[in-house]
């Protein structure tokens, strides 16, 4: 009888140990918070190198810097010198087929859409009207995130 009681107590302890182990495993494996999704500005910010075309001519290996202002707004500026304009754009997410991109729109620009950034490729392209009455007074940049 004493062996039966000891065996029963061992079974109960093993059951509690098993339940506790399962609970601990589930507790650590079910991470519901996960990493926060990157904002549009976090996806696009960084240094880019590519080709700049403006009324002054073409420049290869031109570098620009995209700086985060808030979650949906960035500043675009030359990395050095002043061959290109400095301006701010609002960001929106767009999906075309299987490709998700970030659309750029400068509220002060006459162009309807200023450009796009595709995070999967790291490619940024934009056009920006430099002002005045000449429709051809535009700079165009196409480059890759460094």
Residue 85: predicted pLDDT: 93
Q: For position 57, what pLDDT does the model report? A: 93
User: In whole angstroms, what is the distance from residue 24 CA to residue 66 CA?
Assistant: 44
pLDDT lower than 70: segments of the chain? 1-34
Q: Model's pTM, two decimal places?
A: 0.74
Taking alpha carbons only, the member of 146, 143, 135, 134 closest to residue 53 is: 143
CB 63 within 8 A of CB 141: no
| pLDDT at residue 92 in the model | 97
CB 66 within 8 A of CB 79: no
Round to whole Å and give the CA distance between 99 and 96: 5
């Amino acid at each position: 009888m004493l062996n039966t009681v000891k065996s029963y107590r061992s079974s109960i302890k093993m059951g509690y140990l098993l339940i506790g182990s399962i609970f601990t495993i589930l507790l650590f494996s079910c991470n519901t918070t996960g990493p926060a999704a990157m904002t549009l500005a976090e996806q696009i910010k960084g240094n880019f190198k590519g080709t700049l075309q403006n009324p002054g001519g073409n420049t290869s290996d031109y570098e620009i810097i995209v700086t985060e202002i808030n979650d949906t707004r960035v500043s675009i500026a030359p990395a050095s010198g002043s061959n290109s304009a400095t301006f701010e754009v609002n960001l929106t997410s767009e999906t075309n087929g299987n490709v998700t991109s970030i659309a750029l729109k400068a509220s002060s620009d006459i162009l309807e859409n200023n450009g796009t950034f595709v995070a999967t490729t790291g490619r940024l392209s934009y056009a920006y009207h430099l002002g005045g009455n000449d429709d051809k007074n535009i700079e165009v940049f196409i480059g890759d995130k460094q």
